[in-house]
Amino acid sequence: MAGKSIQDLLTPALTVDLLKVKRNAQVMLERFQKLGVQLRPHMKTHKTLECADIMTAGTRRCIVVSTLAEASFYADHGYDDILYAYPLPFDKVERCAELSERLTLFHVLVDNSAALEELKKRPLKRGKLWHVWLKLDCANGRAGVPHSEPAALQLAQAISESPGVELTGIYTHCGNTYSCSGEEEIRAVAQDTTTFTLQFMEKLQANGINCSKSSIGSTPSCSQPVPDMAMLSEVHPGNYVFYDVQQSMIGSCKLEDVAVRVITRVVGHYPHRNQMLVDCGWAGLSLDSGGRLPTGYAVIEGHPDLKLLSMTQEHGRVEPISGKLDYEKFPLGSLLSLIPYHACATAVMHPVYFVHSDGVVVDTWTPTRGW
């Protein structure tokens, strides 16, 4: 495979531009090094060892995962200091305990007292402590205790007072940055999230509750950080290593920073309906975006006049945004390059990624899957 041109790959294929990945990773590392904040990159977008090595600059330490499958995969490959940033699922307590006992640092997340009780029912062996992060909801509206509710402080206190358990940190996901448009809006959400989180840290201190770490994250907020984020201990973005059309629209990056493509091939010409078919359906791209981009389900690189109108499992319908399709420009068998709307959603559809440097395949990466 190595040495092959990406033009010669069987399609559809997910390609990863290694230089862009390295640059995106390096920019994020340097940005938070300068701010004196620990970067704890999230693995959920790619779920591969190779990309994790790039994001952690080879340390294999200090990562976030979204599934226990990822946690086990990274632990099995020499990673440590892994934060399983998911509201503790009660079916996975025993597996979390095993990882906690096996690794130097395995962190879990809780946002309710029932989860804390589950942890207390399973004390770790050899006097190890459960490393618990309290999930705080700072106006995102997904998981977490709302930062302003007394329940948040009460839960922090309960965690810190529980035997066998340590309140390690406060964790906030500012997913609400995904509805932002432009740097200014992103920074406003980043500022609010930082302020609420730091205020909560002060409240903990004022109440004599030990908790050393605070972390916020999302690719938009960490791509457009505010100075106050220097007062946090950590940040935990993930998507930035690939970026995507959505991030470019939010204002996290430029479209040229996007490191991934789905290479697809023209498989049919249908002049009677002014369309052509490509061999990428939702099985190769995902249905994310709902087709609501002006160019449909993706941006077709170099062809802003084309729209990926609809998809079935393995077929994509492409037509011009206006006018007649010039079929001579797109012969049967020729390639189109789709810039995904949401890289996390597209990557999850592929059992292997083709990593290239200037269009020449240099590696293949195999993600972990499942839960």
Can you read off the two tokens belonging to residue 278? 């490509």
Q: Is 312 in the site for its own copies (CB under 8 A)?
A: yes
Rounded CA-CA distance 334/316 in Å is: 14
With H, G, I as helix, E, B as strand and everything else as coil, classify residue 230.
helix
User: If DSSP states are collapsed to H, E and C, what string results for 8-54?
Assistant: HCCCCEEEEEHHHHHHHHHHHHHHHHHHCCEECCECCCCCCHHHHHH
User: Using CB under 8 A, which residues numbered 169 to 188 contact its own copies?
Assistant: 175
Phi and psi (nearest 5°) for 212?
Answer: -90, -25
**Residue choice 157, 348, 363, 364 for contact with its own copies (CB under 8 A):** 348
Phi and psi (nearest 5°) for 219?
Answer: -65, -40
Interface stretch with its own copies, choices 22-30, 123-131, 214-222, 286-294 (CB under 8 A): 286-294
Least gap, CB of 88 to its own copies (angstroms):
8
Q: Is 287 in the site for its own copies (CB under 8 A)?
A: yes
Amino acid at 8: D
* Distances in whole angstroms, Cα of residue 109 to Cα of each of 160, 166, 231, 233: 14, 12, 21, 17
Q: Is 4 in the site for its own copies (CB under 8 A)?
A: no
What is the enclosing helix (H) or strand (E) of 171? strand 165-173
Least gap, CB of 255 to its own copies (angstroms):
22
Owner of token pair 């077929």? 315
Least gap, CB of 335 to its own copies (angstroms):
9
Q: Is 114 in the site for its own copies (CB under 8 A)?
A: yes
User: Using CB under 8 A, which residues numbered 246 to 285 contact its own copies?
Assistant: 265, 267-269, 272-273, 277, 279, 282-284
Q: Is 66 in the site for its own copies (CB under 8 A)?
A: yes
Rounded CA-CA distance 27/240 in Å is: 10
**Residue choice 22, 122, 303, 315 for contact with its own copies (CB under 8 A):** 315
Q: Is 294 in the site for its own copies (CB under 8 A)?
A: no
Q: Is 138 in the site for its own copies (CB under 8 A)?
A: no
Residues of the shown chain interacting with its own copies in the complex, contacts defined by CB under 8 A:
8-13, 44, 66-68, 86-92, 111-112, 114-115, 118, 141-143, 146, 149, 175, 265, 267-269, 272-273, 277, 279, 282-284, 286-288, 290, 312-315, 317, 331-333, 344-345, 348-352, 369-371
